[in-house]
Amino acid sequence: MAREVVRLLGKRFYSWGSYHGVKSAWIPPLLAFLSLSEKFPSINSPQDSRFIALHILSTSRGYSGFCKSLLPVLTSTLLPTHPLQSRSLALKIFHTFVSGWFSEMENVPDKDRGNLLEAIGDPFQFNPDLPLQDGKSVGRADYEPTEAMVVLIGFASSELWRNHLRRSNFTSGEKILSTREGKRKALRCMLDTAAREWSWHLYTPKKITAAIGRLEELQCPNIAEAVIMWAWTSGVVSPWEHDAWGLIQRDTLRFYRTHGLRRLTALRLHIMDTTMSASHTRPHVVLQGESSRQMEGPLRPAYENWTELFVSRACQLRRLYHLFGYNPATWNEAIASGVGREMDLSSGRSVTRTMPLTDWACDYP
């Protein structure tokens, strides 16, 4: 009977031609149906009703109070051995309900969180083909693997999740983010996720540095570097907050000294790149020393206009030069001989640091 009800619901859902009308009231009964189907699978009955339920969930905008019923359903459906073969839909649902993973998991056993991450595995590994619907192919899931990876990056900063992460969760992502375009795509996705979900986590210096450290422990320097780029350009840390920037600068300095100063080319180019900044957003936060608390859920523009953006980026460049013991003139001298190839700052002229880390002030108002 439940299968027939879900099929009728699916007919109504697909007749709309748009997925923006999905009601949050549908989500609990759909999850209950999927949970029931996992407990009492029927080999002789069509499986498309489960697919319909997953498809509707994947087009929702999330739901509060979901985790107890959604987590076991996803853990099972994500497995490549699951008979429904809808891993791509399950991964999309994983990203859709991102807010709950950070706000409603305190009472979930560690084992269950670990099982979910084990089932997620590498989010870039999935079968894009969906099951048949009424004997006809319904195409491919509208799923972007980078979105799921961004949630995992947020997990690296969370005490509830960070120790459950595995190197295998980032195998493909680490390779993809070895390129400049891969990092740009990930950073765009990070911005989009932060704009939609304030609970995503990478809003405070402590969270940012915790994510960088955990990703390094997992031997994912390319993904850790993307988090550093996020910290320097997203606007989540105000330029005049010296204590906050002290934490980020120390981790930046340590990271590039550990993994090679040649990588600084990418950070410098990213700070200079304003093509991704038109839609930059940041949370309305109040910083208190090294901590930050969320004041409002909605996000506001990080920059009022393009002039403000350009001035802010110029200040960030100055901050970067001073951090590594250069001023703009000597930095240019150091890279002048490296035109057309990756620069090596270690061969540049050494300059005595003119200011302590936390005393350097950007003159951007």
Structure tokens at 233: 């350009």
CA atoms in the 13 A half-sphere facing the CB of 267 = 30
Q: What is the pLDDT of residues 218-246, one digit of tens each?
A: 999 999 999 999 999 888 877 677 788 88
DSSP annotation of 179: S
Question: H/E element holding 154?
Answer: helix 145-155
The residues that bridge with 193 in the sheet, in sequence order, are none
pLDDT of residue 141: 61
Angle of CA points 247, 184, 87, to nearest 5°: 105
Q: Give the residue among 177, 3, 30, 167 at the shortest CA–CA distance from 96.
A: 30
In tens digits, what is the pLDDT along the chain, a chain of 365 residues? 888 888 888 888 877 665 555 677 888 889 999 998 888 876 555 557 888 898 888 888 766 566 678 899 999 999 988 888 889 999 999 998 888 888 878 888 899 999 999 999 999 998 765 555 554 445 456 789 999 999 999 999 999 999 999 999 999 999 999 999 999 999 999 988 888 777 787 888 999 999 999 999 999 999 999 999 999 988 887 767 778 888 999 999 999 989 988 888 889 888 888 776 544 444 434 333 333 434 334 344 445 555 666 777 788 888 888 888 777 666 665 544 333 233 333 333 333 344 444 445 555 44
7: number of CA atoms within 13 Å, CB side?
Answer: 11
CB 161 within 8 A of CB 113: yes
- Cα–Cα distances (Å) from 110 to 125, 202, 256, in that order, read 25, 22, 34
In terms of Cα–Cα distance, which of 158, 39, 38 is closest to 110?
A: 158
Q: Which residue has the tokens 């998991």?
A: 105
pLDDT for 213 equals 96
pLDDT of residue 303: 52
Q: What is the spatial distance between Cα 154 and Cα 211, in angstroms, rounded to a whole number?
A: 7
